[in-house]
Structure 1
């Protein structure tokens, strides 16, 4: 049964497709955060290891909420790793060190990339696709990423 939420089928599909890209980005970032948590080395290991654990917990919650937003729009959330790699703006490549500063810079770049992607869709969702709900949702999600980016940036300045 399709949702009767006042958004055309075409607009719901367009928004769900953009959210699928966001979901792919979030999944890649989640995986990269796990990598940072698992492979961190250095004198600040314990405190940063704990911080990365907090970050991947937040990422898991974000992933779930993006997938649920796609479902609210009447579409299925993609759930194949191969598709995530094809859709994502992010890359899983990493050639830096496993020290905290290198890993934090690595994660910061991806948070900022996601912020830019979300910012580019906020008004489009509301104005062109008549989906104020998703516009509001991604605005709040962007604010979460901005706070995380600020905290990561504070580590490397």
Structure 2
């Protein structure tokens, strides 16, 4: 019986290696922002208090639950393009545009931080569209469109809590 050597197959999906690499890099940045946003939202869920406790506690839980699922979607797209997905705090800190919040802010400040973090994540996703369009990469465009829809809608809903 002949032994088979462990050879990896090349990827031939109609997107050049250079474009796959550029798209994967952008998705790695999106994953870092998304994970940082997830962590911030979960932290605020645990630590929110005040008159809006129940509303915010439940809202934050719905948001971080949705974000958790999105992390897998983004990471799996990176893998489908043939690149490793980052998965360490150190890697996320290097790539993320969202900065860690120190301490436990009051509920209204939590909302403000989350609006900014949602918008930052949307901007990270939007930056990737030109490369995705050139590469004719519809699956990544679909992921980006879905993420933009969620982040922009969530930012609007959070922002609405701050209006009179």
Task: Please indicate, yes or no, whether the TM-score normalized by the shorter chain is above 0.5.
Answer: yes
> Which residue in 2 is equivalent to 1:142?
148
Match of 1:60 among 26, 50, 68: 68
Aligned positions of 1:7-156 closer than 5 A: 7-94=15-102, 97-99=105-107, 101-127=108-134, 129-156=135-162
Q: Alpha carbon RMSD of aligned pairs, Å?
A: 1.5
Q: How far is the alpha carbon of 1:102 from its aligned partner?
A: 1.2
Larger C-alpha radius of gyration, 1 or 2?
2
Farther-moved stretch of structure 1 (109-118 vs 89-98): 89-98
Q: Distance in 2 between matches of 1:62 and 1:98?
A: 27
Which shows bigger deviation, 133-142 or 36-45?
A: 133-142
Structure 1 residues 70-127: Cα deviation after superposition (integer angstroms, max 9, x where no partner): 111111111111110011111113467232x211111010111111222222133112
| C-alpha contact (below 8 Å) 1:33/1:56 kept by paired residues | yes
Measure the CA separation in 1 of the matches of 2:114 and 2:96.
15
Looking at structure 1, the residues matched to 19 and 63 of structure 2 have their Cα atoms a distance apart, in angstroms, of 32
Where do 5+ consecutive residues of structure 2 fail to align? 1-8
Stretches of structure 1 lacking an aligned partner (at least 5 in a row): none
Contact 2:119 2:155 in 1 (8 A): yes
| Whole-angstrom distance in 1 between the partners of 2:159 and 2:18 | 39
Q: Which has the higher helix share?
A: 1
Structure 1 equivalent of residue 3 of structure 2: none
TM-score (norm 1): 0.92
TM-score by length of 2: 0.88
